[in-house]
Structure 1
Amino acid sequence: MNWDWDKLREKQEQYEQKRSGGGAGVPRPPQMDEVLNRFKNFRFPGGILLIVVLFFLFFGSSIFFTVDIDEVGIIQRFGKYSRISQPGLNFKLPAGVEKVTKVKIKRVYKEEFGFETVKGYNNARFSNDNADAGAALMLTGDLNVAVVPWIVQYRISDPYNYLFKVKDVRSILRDMAEATMRTVVGDRSINEVISKREEIAVAARKMLQDEMNQAETGIHIVTIEMKKTNVPEPVQPSFNEVNEAVQEKEQLIYKAREGYNKAIPAARGEAMRMVKDAEGFALDRVNRALGDAARFTSVFEEYVKAKDVTKKRLYLEAMSEVLPRLGGKFIIDSDQKNVLPLLNLDGATSAVPAIKALREGGVK
């Protein structure tokens, strides 16, 4: 039997390829020992070239740096302040000589007092009242305890002062913010603290900014936001009762003032009217008296000039006023003692007083 050695060799190679993971037309993957042998036989082109490449990579990365648009770079040379780099690509001396510290001057930071804002599910924000609760407890001007949570928002206005003038800016900010808020709240009553939060925030911001400027912290206070102010929960029922009593008191005062405003002006108006009437009456009586006196004076002057004529004229004027008022008139002799018998005086009873007057006065 003749053996076909070529076919046997081909089958052997196919069998070895199947064992090594290859197949027909698929090259055999390199083995581990072959890879190691290749690395052992590989030689670098030159140690000096590698050192030069590493040198340029290291110093190139430490010489050039980029500053973002919302920040500045503070460069220190051997630890001492040198200059400020503006946003963009900048150059400095290699590491070990100059160091750059980036400060975000446009970012608004915030510090929370009396609560802590955290993120929950679906980015929902809620406050944890147990965090830093002691900072929110304050004594008001009327010796009441209030819970005053607030937020301080600030940004860095002077990077040099921020980095080199104060060791721990955040710590001094929190301490001064708490001291400032206690000072402002301590000058107001509990009702003002609850109802005038915006006014308190403005006053606290101004005072805190003055303190930050004096300490040279390099911080600008953007705003102070007052959260819901209230009294502690254990005294909440008593505080509500006091508020209700105060409101009832104010309501009664308003009602009393309303009645006062109605009664007092009316009484004053009536008094003024009576005074004006009395003044008018007095002025009328005075004017009449002056007129009568002037008339009497003028008559007396004429009487002095011609007594008989004036006397007759006065008598005639008096009779012209009196006689038309008498009704029926009966003229008798002054010496006659009895009335004529034929005279019927029953229908002239109204003339009796006039007759008596004529008898007593006499008619000539």
Structure 2
Amino acid sequence: MNWDWEKLRENQKKYEQKQGGGGPGMPTPPQMDDLLNKFKEFKFSGIFFVGIIIIVVLIGVSTVFTVGRSEVGVIQRFGKYTRLAQPGLNFKMPAGIEKVTKVNVRQVETEEFGFKTYNGGGSYPSSVESSKQDASLMLTGDLNVAVVPWIVQYRRSDPKAYLFNVKDVRSLLKDMSEATMRMVVGDRSINEVISSRAEIANVAKEMLQKEMNNAQAGIGIVNIEMKKTNVPEPVQDSFNEVNQATQKKEQTIYKAREDYNKAIPLARGEAKRLIKDAEGYAIDRVNRAQGDATKFKAIYDEYAKAKDVTRKRMYLEAMLEILPKLENKYIIDSDQKNLLPFLNMGAKLSGQTLQKGE
């Protein structure tokens, strides 16, 4: 069956006129054939494909990320915290939906107070910067002014608390470190501040960690190191003179204590020796007296048994002890009554001996 195309077109035009689409001044809507022809004529350019590839790559890159060994990734979804990402390869939603912030939890950070260390490794006194000088000037418990430089070493122990709980963690750490050190130094004398730096550092570390925990700043205090503590430069000469006088005073006291320790133990030892000698002498006298009493009692018991024999024996023993000590001995009759002829016998005998010697 053959179609009469011209007749069909005329009928289509009449239909369009009835519908109001083909009147004068009315635009004719595009035909399907024209649309298909234009669509066939349209060619995709290389720039379009490159753009699509770039978008896909950006989306893929924003969903994959890596976290270092010393880091922790904090992931936020539309700004709200959702989870932590551990070291290694991790995935998240594309950028604009989820955001990751990497926090180093192993690196030890340092804050200096009272001095500044430069890249060359040298450190300069607090007079280099007025703010640091103000931080190092402190009032001690005995109303002296001391220059106290120190270092605070810390680590980010809680990434979530470090990012979200405190707006400026570093400023908080500086302010609390200064307040803590002033409190610790204010309870001690200038000599204690200069000589007991390690003890002050330990107390300050405990107090500062407690304050950081109360503030939930996510900071862990690793160490507080006290640098050389001294007095301000304008009064340093006077302070040195006071220290020298104090040292001389202590030296004199130590010398006196040394002499005391030498003399007192010696005197105590001598006193103990005399006491021991006296106690020994008393024990000896008592023992001798007890021995003599025992001996006398034994003699008396024997004497009571045989008085004559014991009396003669005692007499002979006494003579045996006395006679050897006498130089000249004269034995006379017990019945002799006139002793005058014997008085000068010793002198005569000695004179005769001298004459014979001549």
Corresponding letter in the other structure for 1:274:
L
Change (3 A) 1:343 1:241: closer
The answer for the alignment partner of 2:73 in structure 1 is 73
The answer for the alignment partner of 1:269 in structure 2 is 269
Corresponding letter in the other structure for 1:196:
S
Q: 8 Å contact 1:117–1:128 — kept in the other structure?
A: no
- CA separation in 2, counterparts of 1:149 and 1:295? 89
- CA separation in 1, counterparts of 2:332 and 2:193? 105
- CA separation in 1, counterparts of 2:319 and 2:349? 20
Instruction: State, as a whole percentage, how many aligned pairs show the same letter.
Output: 63
1:321-360 paired onto structure 2 within 5 Å: 321-333=321-333, 334-340=335-341, 344-346=345-347
Change (3 A) 1:135 1:318: same
The answer for the alignment partner of 1:125 in structure 2 is 122
- CA separation in 2, counterparts of 1:69 and 1:306? 118
Corresponding letter in the other structure for 1:327:
E
**Cα offset for 1:61?**
4.4
Q: For residue 330 of structure 1, give the secondary structure of its aligned residue in structure 2.
A: coil
- CA separation in 1, counterparts of 2:158 and 2:88? 19
The answer for the alignment partner of 1:205 in structure 2 is 205
Q: 8 Å contact 1:328–1:348 — kept in the other structure?
A: no
**Cα offset for 1:335?**
4.3
- CA separation in 2, counterparts of 1:328 and 1:341? 12
Q: For residue 185 of structure 2, give the secondary structure of its aligned residue in structure 1.
A: helix
Change (3 A) 1:344 1:136: same
Tell me, yes or no, if structure 1 residue 191 matches structure 2 residue 191.
Answer: yes
Q: 8 Å contact 2:115–2:123 — kept in the other structure?
A: no
**Cα offset for 1:116?**
2.6
- CA separation in 1, counterparts of 2:339 and 2:123? 126
Q: For residue 118 of structure 2, give the secondary structure of its aligned residue in structure 1.
A: strand
Corresponding letter in the other structure for 2:92:
K
Tell which deviates more after alignment, 123-132 or 264-273.
123-132
**Cα offset for 1:109?**
1.5
Residues 307-351 of structure 1: per-residue CA shift (max 9 Å, x gap): 2222222222222222222232222345422434898431568xx
Size of the aligned set, in residue pairs, is 304
The answer for the alignment partner of 1:238 in structure 2 is 238
- CA separation in 1, counterparts of 2:343 and 2:220? 129
Q: 8 Å contact 1:63–1:92 — kept in the other structure?
A: yes
Change (3 A) 1:341 1:136: closer
**Cα offset for 1:203?**
2.6
Which runs of 5 or more residues in structure 1 are unaligned? 1-42, 350-364
Residues 259-278 of structure 1: per-residue CA shift (max 9 Å, x gap): 11221121112112211221
The answer for the alignment partner of 2:247 in structure 1 is 247
- CA separation in 2, counterparts of 1:318 and 1:106? 107
Q: RMSD of the alignment, in Å?
A: 2.7
Q: For residue 340 of structure 2, give the secondary structure of its aligned residue in structure 1.
A: coil
Tell me, yes or no, if structure 1 residue 104 matches structure 2 residue 104.
Answer: yes
Tell which deviates more after alignment, 148-157 or 183-192.
183-192
Residues 12-70 of structure 1: per-residue CA shift (max 9 Å, x gap): xxxxxxxxxxxxxxxxxxxxxxxxxxxxxxx9827864663454355344333343443
Corresponding letter in the other structure for 2:317:
E
Q: 8 Å contact 1:112–1:150 — kept in the other structure?
A: yes
- CA separation in 1, counterparts of 2:259 and 2:266? 11
- CA separation in 2, counterparts of 1:59 and 1:340? 160
**Cα offset for 1:246?**
1.0
Change (3 A) 1:266 1:83: same
Q: For residue 52 of structure 1, give the secondary structure of its aligned residue in structure 2.
A: helix
TM-score by length of 2: 0.76
The answer for the alignment partner of 1:45 in structure 2 is 45
Change (3 A) 1:300 1:79: same
The answer for the alignment partner of 1:228 in structure 2 is 228
Q: For residue 345 of structure 1, give the secondary structure of its aligned residue in structure 2.
A: helix
The answer for the alignment partner of 1:286 in structure 2 is 286
Q: 8 Å contact 1:181–1:204 — kept in the other structure?
A: yes
The answer for the alignment partner of 2:29 in structure 1 is none
The answer for the alignment partner of 1:31 in structure 2 is none
1:143-162 paired onto structure 2 within 5 Å: 143-162=143-162
The answer for the alignment partner of 1:63 in structure 2 is 63
**Cα offset for 1:285?**
1.3
- CA separation in 2, counterparts of 1:59 and 1:342? 155
Change (3 A) 1:285 1:204: same
**Cα offset for 1:232?**
1.0
Q: For residue 327 of structure 2, give the secondary structure of its aligned residue in structure 1.
A: coil
- CA separation in 1, counterparts of 2:246 and 2:79? 64
Change (3 A) 1:75 1:306: same
- CA separation in 1, counterparts of 2:80 and 2:65? 19
**Cα offset for 1:214?**
3.0
